[in-house]
Structure 1
Amino acid sequence: MTQRLPITRRNLLLGAAAFGVPAILAGCGNPNDRRTPGASGSAARGTITIGSNASDEIPKKSLETVIKAFTQADVRINTVDHNTFQENINRYLKGTPDDVFTWFAGYRMQFFAEQGLATDISDVWQEIGADYTPAFKAASTGSDGKQYFVPFTYYPWAVFYRKSLWEEKGYQPPKTLDELTALARKMKTDGLIPIAFADKDGWPAMGTFDILNMRTNGYDFHISLMAGKEAWTDPKVRQVFDTWRGLMEFHQPAALGRTWQEAGQSLAQKKTGMYLLGMFVAQQFPEADRDDIDFFTFPEINPQFGTDSIDAPIDGYMISAKAKNVDGAKALLKHFAQATSQNAATKLDPGTLASSSKADTSGYSALQKRGAELVSQATHIAQFLDRDTRPDFASTVMIPALQRFVGKPDDIDSLLKDIEAQKANIFR
């Protein structure tokens, strides 16, 4: 079992406020791929390929912009739909992967490092380490003590809403679950769908489970459950699903047929009152409306834990074990680690924050500043369900299980028994 490296506020901001188609990611000749020439035409370090999951318009443009400033080599970006990328990542890395690939910090990174599917970049960290806090380095470190990942951006999960709508209706951010329920009832009376919700892609519901579990049972139990050390049939877990079922009447209906982008647009259009999601929801708002976005951290359920924990996943880059241009790939990772690169990305993508402690945050939007503040105030920071557990458990067990719950929320006991049985086969 991989040793997990939990991230806490004290460490994280010390000093700073996929399994199916093999070569699809590397060899697809995507019509949206972009080759960025080096400064001297025939680049000094040859050609570097990147397998990218940045398929949405804003993150895609952000990556392309950052790559344009890299002058040491030619870079080819092979962009694949975000969900397809994640679902195919295992066979992709075992097949003919790109030199560099977008991925996630923590357990998800460690899993592929342990499989021998990633290149040790400890030498890169000798040069970039001073630009990161100790916990960002910890989140980039494998169970063998070596580094395999360069953090680029991160983003908190919270409950987002439109300030103008709330001011018009006189709504106030709830501090407890009872207050949240009362607010949702008031929104229904006012003709709004209280909570935007979507789970067509399988992963968004994980964020709801994460926060309900951490609010109910605490961060330590949540991380232990993700590690396969707790039983899904434990009454503590059933309580989480009972609480969630009680909120279902306020959720946007037909969630299994809706993408997170569509749910985000419903929030932007003032058809829904609030939305628990990552800060990247801002991508679905017209630029002119982004100053109208605000959020609150999910309210207290159990006073023992209060609101001490949040999800704040870290995105970044790794080098595949089969990279053809390791030298060029390492140079590119150093470029991603530069504060100027991350500044360029966060300027273009309003839903992200820079990982480098040397990044210039003075240009952050009000939303980004609020996001950084939320993370700095959290005692415990989780990476997200599908990043805090084994990728096979997340994809083959939890995605269908949570979608099953969303479709039939009254069938909790048999659902949890099924999850536990499958967990026992995976976590041996």
Structure 2
Amino acid sequence: MGQPMITRRGALLGAAAFGVPAALAGCGGPPGGSGAGTVSIGSNASDAIPKKALQTVVDGFGGASVRINTVDHNTFQENINRYLRGTPDDVFTWFSGYRMRFFAEQGLATDVSDVWRRIGQDYTPALKAASSAADGKQYFVPFTYYPWAIFYRKSVWADRGYRPPATLDELTALAGRMKRDGLIPIGFADKDGWPAMGTFDILNMRLNGYDFHISLMSGKESWTDRRVKAVLDTWRGLLAHHQPAALGRTWQEAAQSLARGQTGMYLLGLFVAQQFPPGELDDLDLFTFPEINPKYGTDAIDAPIDGYMISAKARNVTGAKALLEHLAAASSQNVATELDPGTLACSAKADTRGYTSLQQRAAELVSGARHIAQFLDRDTRPDFASTVMIPALQRFIGHPDDIDALLRDIEAQKANIFR
């Protein structure tokens, strides 16, 4: 992806992609200018709690004034490529791993290696690696992360004598017991397209291991492989225990079903906590998805890293880099994780003593994992994730008995994209 000439029409299209008025998109000084003036952030933190957390952290920035342009999370992701080619903000929220590297390699992001020379001591080598592109330079500053796990209400489980299952057979038996007790066993929602990816990820890693999963995501394995079919066969066996009509439900609505005690458990990211009243967070607990294949046990999880990048067309690069240093500070991340119980701080210097019991449990889960994936739509090409996998998984949910044809279709599309 090269750098096209910006026309007035292109500017209008780029701004409209995120619903931002053209007059406001990418405001600031001249390209590459000084830190004076305004730094703009294109943010996908559209839910109330993360939106407030980001605003509070930014309010503590002592540099240039900051304007946050918030866009619905899904709209942001679906239009990111057009946005970065148009008139993007100086700084934008994004993800580590493959998706970060993809835009870095297309020349759509600014090298922030100089920022890393000042903040590097606050991050682990693994986080630096997750922020680096193939050229060895850094283009991303980690802010927070959140593991995926199965969440449940401790009071509901205590009342019925439920225990976290250690194997898939135990999970299936527990789901059957929940049904008999009048509960929907597994909360489920996929109206937005991406939540079902978490189920695919964990089943693939439990059945076939982390290495196969990552290789499949990078286009090196065939989707018609018997191992992939085993994933969907296993999932098909669980669908009867899932919350019905998932394609018409948002993750927030499914999380609220868990909060109301209507569902027994829910596989999602730690951000499920955002849908619980503060006074009820102590009743929320988690466990990792149980073992399926003893060869791999429970050694892998999804734990996506969220953070910030600077667009290649940033107008206030100096101010943007100063803002990234502020966001990298442990004090900033402490503010964020206190306001948003659905996140954990990336900085090694963050004060975890203020974590809720749920955040502490989540941190322990991550520390005990041997392999950490970034989530399907972050571990593969963004075009493959959005144009192939979202409709494919929704098709599976609606018609789970058509696995062979579905996998052939995915493989054919993958071959065209990963050329």
TM range (shorter): over 0.9
Counterpart check, 1:77 vs 2:61? no
Counterpart check, 1:417 vs 2:385? no
Q: How many Å separate the matches in 1 of 2:97 and 2:179?
A: 39
Partner residue, 1:23: 15
- Cα 1:26–1:255, aligned 2, differ >3 Å: closer, same or farther? closer
After TM superposition, what 4+ stretches of structure 1 lie above 6 angstroms from structure 2?
none
Q: How many Å separate the matches in 1 of 2:383 and 2:19?
A: 24
Counterpart check, 1:369 vs 2:360? yes
Question: Are the aligned partners of 2:35 and 2:320 in contact in 1 as well (CA < 8 Å)?
Answer: no
Partner residue, 1:280: 271
Q: How far 1:71 moved relative to its partner?
A: 1.6
Counting only pairs closer than 5 Å after superposition, residues 348-359 of structure 1 correspond to structure 2 as 348-359=339-350
What stretches of structure 1 of length at least 5 have no aligned partner?
A: 1-20, 36-42
Counterpart check, 1:340 vs 2:331? yes
Q: How many Å separate the matches in 1 of 2:206 and 2:178?
A: 23
Question: Are the aligned partners of 1:241 and 1:412 in contact in 2 as well (CA < 8 Å)?
Answer: yes
Q: How big is each residue's C-alpha offset from its partner over 1:173-225, in whole Å with a ceiling of 9 and x where there is no partner?
A: 00000000000000000000000000000000000000000000000000000
Question: Are the aligned partners of 1:25 and 1:78 in contact in 2 as well (CA < 8 Å)?
Answer: no
Counterpart check, 1:391 vs 2:367? no
What stretches of structure 2 of length at least 5 have no aligned partner?
A: 1-12, 28-33
Partner residue, 2:221: 230
Q: How big is each residue's C-alpha offset from its partner over 1:290-316, in whole Å with a ceiling of 9 and x where there is no partner?
A: 010001100000000000000000000
Aligned-CA RMSD value: 1.5
Counting only pairs closer than 5 Å after superposition, residues 110-259 of structure 1 correspond to structure 2 as 110-259=101-250
Aligned residues: 399
Question: Are the aligned partners of 2:35 and 2:316 in contact in 1 as well (CA < 8 Å)?
Answer: no
Q: How far 1:29 moved relative to its partner?
A: 4.7
User: What fraction of aligned residue pairs are identical, expressed as a percent?
Assistant: 77
Counterpart check, 1:291 vs 2:312? no
Q: How many Å separate the matches in 2 of 1:122 and 1:54?
A: 25
Question: Are the aligned partners of 2:18 and 2:79 in contact in 1 as well (CA < 8 Å)?
Answer: no
- Cα 1:29–1:71, aligned 2, differ >3 Å: closer, same or farther? farther
Partner residue, 1:320: 311
- Cα 1:189–1:397, aligned 2, differ >3 Å: closer, same or farther? same
Q: How many Å separate the matches in 1 of 2:338 and 2:40?
A: 24
Q: Which amino acid aligns with 1:371?
A: A
Q: Which amino acid aligns with 1:113?
A: A
Q: How far 1:26 moved relative to its partner?
A: 6.4
Question: Are the aligned partners of 2:42 and 2:91 in contact in 1 as well (CA < 8 Å)?
Answer: yes
Question: Are the aligned partners of 1:25 and 1:51 in contact in 2 as well (CA < 8 Å)?
Answer: no
Match of 2:14, SS state, is coil
Question: Are the aligned partners of 1:22 and 1:88 in contact in 2 as well (CA < 8 Å)?
Answer: no
Counterpart check, 1:62 vs 2:53? yes
Counterpart check, 1:86 vs 2:77? yes
Question: Are the aligned partners of 2:301 and 2:373 in contact in 1 as well (CA < 8 Å)?
Answer: yes
Q: How big is each residue's C-alpha offset from its partner over 1:4-50, in whole Å with a ceiling of 9 and x where there is no partner?
A: xxxxxxxxxxxxxxxxx6323667159xx9x9xxxxxxx96210000
Q: How many Å separate the matches in 2 of 1:147 and 1:206?
A: 27
Partner residue, 2:36: 45
Match of 1:232, SS state, is coil
Match of 1:216, SS state, is helix
Q: Which amino acid aligns with 1:353?
A: L
Question: Are the aligned partners of 2:35 and 2:317 in contact in 1 as well (CA < 8 Å)?
Answer: no
1:303 corresponds, among 294, 308, 311, to 294
Q: How many Å separate the matches in 2 of 1:409 and 1:294?
A: 30
Q: How many Å separate the matches in 2 of 1:71 and 1:221?
A: 46
Partner residue, 2:86: 95
Question: Are the aligned partners of 1:48 and 1:100 in contact in 2 as well (CA < 8 Å)?
Answer: yes
Partner residue, 2:7: none
Q: How far 1:79 moved relative to its partner?
A: 0.3
2:369 corresponds, among 378, 396, 403, to 378
Q: How many Å separate the matches in 1 of 2:397 and 2:17?
A: 31
Question: Are the aligned partners of 2:206 and 2:300 in contact in 1 as well (CA < 8 Å)?
Answer: yes
Q: How far 1:74 moved relative to its partner?
A: 0.7
Q: How many Å separate the matches in 1 of 2:247 and 2:155?
A: 29
Q: How many Å separate the matches in 2 of 1:427 and 1:25?
A: 26
- Cα 1:317–1:25, aligned 2, differ >3 Å: closer, same or farther? farther
Q: How many Å separate the matches in 2 of 1:168 and 1:298?
A: 22
Question: Are the aligned partners of 2:396 and 2:406 in contact in 1 as well (CA < 8 Å)?
Answer: yes
Q: How far 1:118 moved relative to its partner?
A: 0.1
Q: Which amino acid aligns with 2:297?
A: G
Q: How many Å separate the matches in 2 of 1:105 and 1:116?
A: 16
- Give the TM-score taking structure 2 as reference length: 0.94
